[in-house]
A and B are shown apart, each in its own frame.
Chain A
Amino acid sequence: MTNPAIILDTVSLTLQSKAGPVNILHDVSLEVSAGETVGIVGPSGSGKSSLLMLMGALERVTSGRISAFGQDYGNLNEDGLAKFRRENMGIVFQSFHLIPTMTALENVAVPLELAGRADAFDAATEALGQVGLSGRLDHYPSQLSGGEQQRVALARATVPGPAILLADEPTGNLDGSTGALIIDLLFGLQGSSKATLLLVTHDEALAARCSRVVRMADGRIMSDERGSA
C-alpha cells in the first residue's frame, strides 16, 4: 500500500426525502492507492453512485471524512472543492451530462478554460481527436449519438490530465458494442495517464478488468477483492 490517492474513513450519507431521512451509506471505509483501478459493483440502489458522488466531492458526507492526496474535503469550501476537482478529478456519468448549449469542442475546452489554460481549444481539439471525434468538433450534443456524446464526456473528463478518474456506469445508456468501445477508450486513457480509476458498473466482466473489485449492498461494502485479474 503505497501513496494513497483517496481515503474514506467511516463515511455515512443520509439524504432528506419526502418520506423522511434516508440512510444511503453506512460507515463506509475505503483506501485507494494511486494508479489503482477499482471496479465498484452491486445491485441497483446499493449506493454506488452515492459513493462516487462523495469521492468526487459533489456531495458532502453526513459523517466521517474523505480526503484525496492528503486534502481533507471537509476543510474546503464550495469554491475550494471546485478548484480541487478542477485540478485532480475527471468524472464521467451514465447520462453523459454534456452542456447542451455548447459544441463538442466547447464542452471539452470548458475545464481547461476554467483552469485558465491558454491552449484550451488546441488541447480540446487534440483530445477529441484521441476519442475519434475530429469530425464532430462543432456539433452540439443534440446532434450527436449517445456513444459520441459519451466519447465527448470522456475527452472532457480526461483532457486536464486528472489524477483520479471517476466513472459511473459510463456504458449504462449505450448498446453493447458502443459500450465496449467506450470502455476500451477509458482504460486506454487511464493506462497512458496512470490515473487512479474508480469505475461503477454492474457488469461483472467489466469489473474484472480492474485491479480491484469492491462489492456493495444496502449502502455497505460487502467485499473488497484485489488482483484477481
Chain B
Amino acid sequence: MLAWKLARRELRGSLASFRVFLTCLAIGVATIAAVGSITSAINAGLAANGRALLGGDVELRLTHRFAGAEERAWLDAEVGAISEVVSFRGMIGAPSGERALAQIKGVDGPYPLIGTIELADGDVAEALAVRDGVFGAVVEQTMMDRLELSIGDALRLGTNDVELRGVITGEPDRQASGIGLGPRVMVSQEALEGAGLLQPGSLYRVAYRLVLAEGDTAERLRARLDEAFPDAGWRWRDLSDPSPGTSRIVERIGTFLVLVGLASLAVGGVGVSAATRGYLERKTETIGTLKALGASGGLTVAIYLIQIMLLTLMGIVIGLAIGAGVPLLLAPTLRDALPVPADFGVYPVALFEAAAYGLMTALLFGLWPLAMARETPVAVLFRDVVESGRRFPRPIYLLGLFALFAALVGVTVVFSGNVMLGGFFIGGLVAALLAFALVARIIRWFARGLGRRQKITRGRPALRLALSSIGGPGSETSGVMLSLGLGLTLLSTIGQIDANLRGLIAGDISESAPAFFYLDIPSPQKEAFVMAAKKDSAIDRVETAPMLRGRIVKINGEVADPEKIAPEARWMLRGDRGLTYSSTPPEGTTLTEGAWWPEDYTGKPLLSFIEEEGRQMGLKIGDTLTVNVLGRDLSAQIANFREVEWRRMGINFTLVVNPAALQGAPHSHIATVYAAEGEEGRLTRMFAEDFPSAVAIPVRDVIERTKTLIGQLADAVRGASLATILSGFIVLIGVTAAAQRRHLFEAAVLKTLGAEQGTLMRAAVLRYLFLGSAAAALAIGIGALAAWAVMTKVFEAEFAFAAGSALIVGVLGVLATLFTCGFFARRMVAVMPAQMLRARG
C-alpha cells in the first residue's frame, strides 16, 4: 500500500520531534492503566477470597434477635454446616480501669467454617476456651495499645470477666461484619452469657454463616428459605458479592481516579495536537510536493494519519507497559498497605480501557490539524507564504471529530458506570478546555489592542515586543494557556475541595459536636444517667431520646422494593433505620410540610419522615409506612416531613412516631453528651462504672479519623493528578520548545534592528509572566467554581474560597512559566543573529 510505504519513509528520522507526543500519551495511558490494574487486582482479590471474606457460602443476618428454635432446626436440616456469630458494640474495661469502645464478636464452636483466624501466637479455639473457669478473649493490636494491655490481663466485658489470651493478626471475615467503630474483641458466645450485654432493644446482629449441602445452590436454598420463613427478615448475602461495601468503595475511588487520569490524557491531547500541527507545518513543502506529484487530498491525509496512528500505538504500548508494570513491581508494598486482599497481575480489560482512552484522545486531538493539512495548496512550493483558504476542516472530518467525541463520552460513561459522574466530568473537562481556548483568544485580542495603545507602549519596547508576541498570529498563547491551565485547574479544584472538606469538619462540625454518643442505655437507668451527667461540671448539656431500630418493609401496604425507587434513596430500604418516639418535634428540626401531632395524641399511629430522603422515595403526606420493629410490624401514616441539619451532629432519626404507637415496645436510650475537650477519658470511666452496658462513641475520635481518611483520599487523588500536572508541564515545555525556533529567529531579527539583550530578556519574562498569571488566575477561578459545585451540590455544605490553596496554584503557575522561560530564553538572548538568519537563507 502506497500510503503505508510513504508514511513509514517519512516517519523515519522524525521520531525525535514526537517526544512530547509520546510522553504525554504514555503518561495518560499509564495512569489509567495503573489505576485500572490496581482496582482489578482488588476486585479479583475480593472474588478469590469470597468464601473466606463471607465466612461461608452464604451469610444470613438478623438484627436484634437470634434465630428461633424452628428456624435454627430448619437451617440445621437444610445446609451442610452452620456457624453462628453475634456482633455488637460494647465497652471493654482494662485492669487499669480504662475503658474503650470495642467491636465485640461472640463466636460459636464451628467458627470459622472457612479460613482461619490468625493469632500472633497460638490457636483461636484454644484461646477462647474455658481455662480454670475463665473464658478467653483475643483482641486486635490497636486495642492492646489503646488500653495498654498485656496477655493474661483480666478484661471486663459487661458484668463478666474474661482473660486476654492472644492478639488477632488476621481475620478474613472482618469486612463481612461491617466496618466498626472500635477495634475487634473476640470471645466465645458462652462468655457473653450473663454479661448483660445482649438485652432486648440493644443493637446486635447475629450472622449465620452457611456452607451449602452437597449439590445445593445458593439460589435454591434462598427460594426454599423464603418459602419456609417469608417474614423472618433475613438479610441474605452470598458469593456473588461477598463484600459489597468494600467493592463499592473500591469501584468509586477507582472510577474517580480513572477520570483524573483522563484529565491527564486531555492535557496530553493538547500536546498531541500541538506536536501534530508542528510536524505537519514542517512538512508543508513535502505535502505540497506530494500534491504536485499527483497525490490526492485523501492520500495525503492517509499518509499522515498512518504516521499519527503508529506514534499513538507506540505511546499506548509504552503507557500500558508502565501502567501494568508499576503495580506489579509495587505489589508487595501495595499488598501490605491495602486493607483488603489484592491479586496483582495483568488485567486485559483494565489495559484495554486505558488503550481505548489513549487512542480516542490521540485521534480526537490529532485529526483537526491533519484535516487542515489536507487543505495545503500546491502553490506553497512557489510562493513564500500562503494562507490556506479554509479555517475549518471539511464537513466529513468535522463529522469524524464529532463521532470520536461522542464515542469518548460513551466509553467514559460505560467504563465509569456512572452517567452523572462520567458525563459531568467530561462536560467539565470540555468546558475547561473551551474556557482556556476562549480566554487565550481574549488574551491575544487584548494584547493586540494594548500593543496599539501607544500611550502604554511608548518608551517600553520590551512590553511592546511581549504584547505582539502574545497577540500576533501563530503565537503559542493557546498552547501555553491550555497545557499550563488544565494542570493548574485540576490542582486548584482538588486544593479547594480538600481545604473546604477539612474546614467543614474542623470548623462547623467539631465546634458544635458532642463529646459522646451513649448508646444502649437501658430504660430503667435513663434517669440515673441524666442525673449523673448533670452533676458533672465538665458536662455542659445532655440530650436523650428513646432509641429503636426498624426496617421499612411496606409502603402503602406493598412490599418495599428498593428497585422501585430512586437509586440514591435505595439504602433507606436496605437495613435498619433509627426510630424514636416523641410528643414534640425534636430539637433542631424544621417541619417542611404537614403538622406535628398534639402532645397527648393517642389515635392511629402517625409518623414524621426526613424530607430529602422522603422526596427521593416519592413519599407523600398521608402515605402509610410499615416498619418492622423487633419483629413486630408497625404501620403508621406520614403526618409531616422534617428537615434535618446533619452538621449539628445531634441525634437524628429517620423515623419519629407518636409515643403511643410504640407503647410497651422494649427499647433503650441514646444520650448525646456535650462536654469539654480532654475530659473524655475520665467521663468514660465514670459512666462505665455505673452503666456497664452503655456504649460510648467518642465523637471527636471519629471526627479525627474521618479527617485522616479525607486526607488520605485527597492524597490519592493528588497522586493521580500528579500525572496531569506532569503532562501539563511536559506539554508546556513542548509548546515552548516548538515556539523556540520562532523566538530564536525573532530575537535574531530584533538584534539586527538594534535590540539589546536586556530588552529581549525583559520581553520574554513579561510574556511568560503574563501568560503564567493569566493561566493561574483562570485555573483558580475554574477550580473554585468546580469546588463550589461539588461542595454545595454533593456535600450540601457551604463553600468558602481557600485563599491559601489559590495562592499555591498562582505561585506554581508563575514559577512553571518562569522556569520554562529561563530554560529557553537564555539561548534566545545569547544567539548571534547570523546563526539564525543564515539558516533561513
Contacts and interface: CB of A to CB of B under 8 A. Distances in A.
A142 B473 contact: yes
Interface string A97-127: 1111110001000110111101011000000
A82 interface: yes
A106 B755 contact: no
A82 B838 contact: no
B471 interface: yes
B8 interface: no
Nearest to A49: B838
Contacts of B383: 145-146
A82 B841 contact: no
Contacts of B834: 53, 58-59
Contact of B750 (A110, A146, A149): A110
Given A97-B837, A146-B383, A79 B756 contact: yes
A79 B759 CA distance: 10
Given A99-B746, A100-B473, A100-B474, A114 B752 contact: no
B451 A106 contact: yes
Q: How large is the interface on B (under 10, 10 to 19, 20 to 34, 35 or more residues)?
A: 35 or more
Contact of B752 (A58, A83, A106, A173): A58
B755 to A, nearest CB: 5
A82 B756 contact: yes
Interface string B449-487: 001001001110100110011011111000000000000
Contacts of B841: 94-95
B468 A106 contact: yes
Given A53-B834, A97-B837, A141-B385, A110 B472 contact: no
Nearest to B475: A101
B335 interface: no
Contacts of B531: none
Interface in A64-105: 78-79, 82-83, 85-87, 91, 93-102
Interface in A110-167: 110-111, 113-116, 118, 120-121, 140-146, 149, 156
Given A78-B757, A101-B469, A106-B468, A91 B752 contact: yes
Contacts of A116: 459, 461
A56 interface: yes
A116 to B, nearest CB: 6
A209 interface: no
A31 B814 CA distance: 52
B464 A113 contact: yes
B387 A142 contact: yes
B750 A59 contact: no
Contact of A58 (B387, B451, B758, B832): B832
B473 A93 contact: no
B587 interface: no
Nearest to B749: A97
Chain A: interface residue count, which band? 35 or more
A114 B759 contact: yes
Contact of B753 (A95, A110, A141, A146): A110
A101 B474 contact: yes
Q: Output the residue of A95, A100, A101, A110 with the most chain B CB within 10 A.
A: A101
A59 B836 CA distance: 11
A215 interface: no
Contact of A59 (B387, B472, B832): B832
Nearest to A156: B753
Between B383, B746, B748, B755, the greatest number of chain A beta carbons within 10 A of the residue's beta carbon is seen for: B755
A83 B469 contact: no
A40 to B, nearest CB: 16
B453 to A, nearest CB: 11
A17 to B, nearest CB: 11
B768 to A, nearest CB: 15
Contacts of A93: 837
B837 A146 contact: no
Given A95-B841, A142-B385, A101 B473 contact: yes
A229 to B, nearest CB: 29
B269 to A, nearest CB: 25
Interface in A5-32: none
Which of the listed residues B451, B458, B461, B754 has the most CB atoms from chain A within 10 Å of its own CB? B754
Interface string B742-775: 1001101111111111110000000000000000
Contacts of B746: 99-101
B840 A97 contact: yes
A172 B26 CA distance: 46
Contacts of B751: 58, 78, 82, 85
B563 interface: no
Given A53-B837, A121-B454, 5 more contacts: A58-B751, A85-B753, A99-B468, A100-B472, A110-B465
Closest 9 CB pairs of A and B: A101-B472, A86-B754, A59-B834, A58-B833, A58-B834, A111-B753, A53-B834, A79-B756, A113-B461
6 contacts: A79-B758, A91-B752, A99-B750, A100-B472, A114-B755, A116-B459
